């Protein structure tokens, strides 16, 4: 299914914008993507299937913390482990950069995404009131991602998606 997870380039932005606009009521603009790609401490990745970008995600490194800034899959391609593969790659990036914790905000109503993050050991620790203007955000964290136990968790998730594809 997903053949490749690789660095996002400027050439990917047009496709990411289409997915972004199909997904969010307040989508990121081209300027935001361009700024994020050159900002320091950011890593943006895309997943490709049959030569097309089907999802993307990013992480902001503020060591020892890593903050997932985005994770989005083409609506037509959801439920096929693309989000899981992107999260695996983002967690790898964070660990390789020396991060010890992973955090993100997620819409309080977005149970699918929360369930994905729970698989990655993330747990809710608080609420940011009206973070999305129309809704609260749940703040999720996982600590000790530099430890062997977390490596084992990632290996087990990786083994699961490899069997499934």
Ligand X SMILES: CC(C)(COP(=O)(O)OP(=O)(O)OC[C@H]1O[C@@H](n2cnc3c(N)ncnc32)[C@H](O)[C@@H]1OP(=O)(O)O)[C@@H](O)C(=O)NCCC(=O)NCCS
Asked about 117 being catalytic, the answer comes back as: yes
Whether 105 is catalytic is: yes
Nearer Cβ to ligand X (81/90): 81
Q: How far is the CB of 63 from ligand X (least distance, A)?
A: 22
Question: Cα–Cα distance between 115 and 104 in angstroms, integer?
Answer: 13
Give least dist CB 48 to ligand X, A.
14
| 36 close to 69: Cβ distance less than 8 angstroms | yes
Q: Which of 93, 117, 135, 150 is an active site residue?
A: 117
Helices (H), the chain: 13-23, 30-38, 82-96, 111-119, 148-164
**Rounded CA gap, 139 and 124, in Å?**
6
Which tokens is 129 given? 């009131």
Query: Could you tell me the smallest distance in angstroms from the CB atom of residue 156 to ligand X?
Result: 12
* Nearer to ligand X (CB atom), residue 54 or residue 99: 54
Helix axes 148-164, 82-96, angle to 10 degrees: 150
CA dist., res. 138 & res. 108, Å (int)? 5
Q: Pattern 82-111, binding to ligand X, x per CB under 6 A?
A: xxx---------------------x---x-
Q: Specify the length of the chain in residues.
A: 165
Site residues (CB under 6 A) for ligand X, limited to 58-87: 71-73, 78-84
Q: Which is nearer to ligand X, 49 or 97 (CB)?
A: 49
121 binds ligand X (CB under 6 A): no
Site residues, ligand X (CB under 6 A): 23, 71-73, 78-84, 106, 110, 112-113, 115-116, 119
Q: Which residues are catalytic?
A: 105, 117
């Amino acid at each position: 299914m997903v053949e490749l997870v690789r660095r996002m380039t400027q050439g990917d932005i047009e496709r990411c914008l289409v997915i972004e606009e199909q997904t969010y009521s307040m989508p990121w603009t081209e300027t935001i993507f361009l700024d994020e790609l050159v900002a320091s401490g950011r890593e943006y990745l895309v997943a490709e299937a049959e030569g097309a970008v089907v999802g993307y995600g990013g992480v902001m490194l503020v060591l020892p913390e890593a903050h997932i800034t985005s994770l989005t899959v083409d609506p037509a391609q959801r439920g096929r482990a693309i989000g899981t593969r992107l999260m695996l790659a983002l967690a790898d990036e964070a660990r390789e950069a020396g991060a010890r914790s992973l955090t993100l905000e997620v819409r309080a109503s977005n149970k699918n995404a929360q369930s994905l993050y729970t698989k990655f050991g993330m747990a809710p620790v608080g609420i940011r009131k009206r973070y999305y203007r129309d809704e609260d955000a749940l703040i999720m964290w996982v600590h000790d991602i530099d430890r062997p136990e977390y490596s084992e968790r990632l290996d087990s998730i990786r083994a699961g998606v490899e069997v499934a594809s």
